[in-house]
Amino acid sequence: MSQKFLHKQQLAPDVSLVDLSTKILTFDSKQPFWIAQISMFKEFVILFSLFVLTDALGGVVGSKQTVTVVGKLVCNGQPSKDVRIKLFEDGTIYDTKMDSVKTLADGTFKVQGSQRKIRKIDPKINIYHRCNHSGLCPKKVTIHVPKNAVGKGPKDAQVFDIGVLNLANRYPGEGTDCIH
């Protein structure tokens, strides 16, 4: 049943302006429109709060998930020494750092971390380098780790090998980062 706007001729003499506004703003339910809007807003706040609470409880509740990323970084064919690599869990609200290492003299690295979460973690590594870059802040390259490289516990951990990465190349989403 849909309500239509009422004409003056259809109004009974005892109908007040408040009754008219209630009738105009009423849909299929018997509640005024603004009460339905408040109800929808309350539902949204409750669902959002549950989502944030679930994310916050992730450190206490949930299964332990681990990830290990290895690789080699080069700059114009030469090993990149002392390049900073950070492993993050790409969170909904903020990223959580799980590990941070620097490359060895041969350009290799191994970064690993674990986190207890209810839902599957979304790991990524950020590489901060100065290969062919003389700016004030280092360049940042982000590599997202696939979900199938995340293990449930230390025994199920898989190693994700990014291979040899030439930092002289340009990568999608590459930029600079002064605060890392």
pLDDT in tens, 80-99: 999 999 999 998 889 999 99
Residue identified by tokens 């199938």 is: 148
Residue identified by tokens 């944030």 is: 52
Fold of 63-176: Immunoglobulin-like (2.60.40)
Most confident of 24-33, 60-69, 104-113, 168-177: 104-113
Query: Strands 151-152, 139-144: parallel, antiparallel or unpaired by DSSP?
Result: unpaired
- The structure's pTM equals 0.67
Quickly state the pLDDT bin for 8 (edges 50, 70, 90). Answer: very low
- pLDDT tens digit string along 113-168? 999 888 889 999 999 999 999 989 999 999 999 999 999 876 667 899 999 999 99
Query: Strands 63-75, 159-166: parallel, antiparallel or unpaired by DSSP?
Result: parallel
3-state secondary structure of 142: strand
Spacing of C-alpha 45 from chain mean position? 19
- Mean of the pLDDT values across residues 48-62? 61
> Would the pLDDT of 100 be above 80?
yes
Most confident of 6-15, 54-63, 111-120, 123-132: 123-132
Structural domain boundaries in the chain: 8-57, 63-176
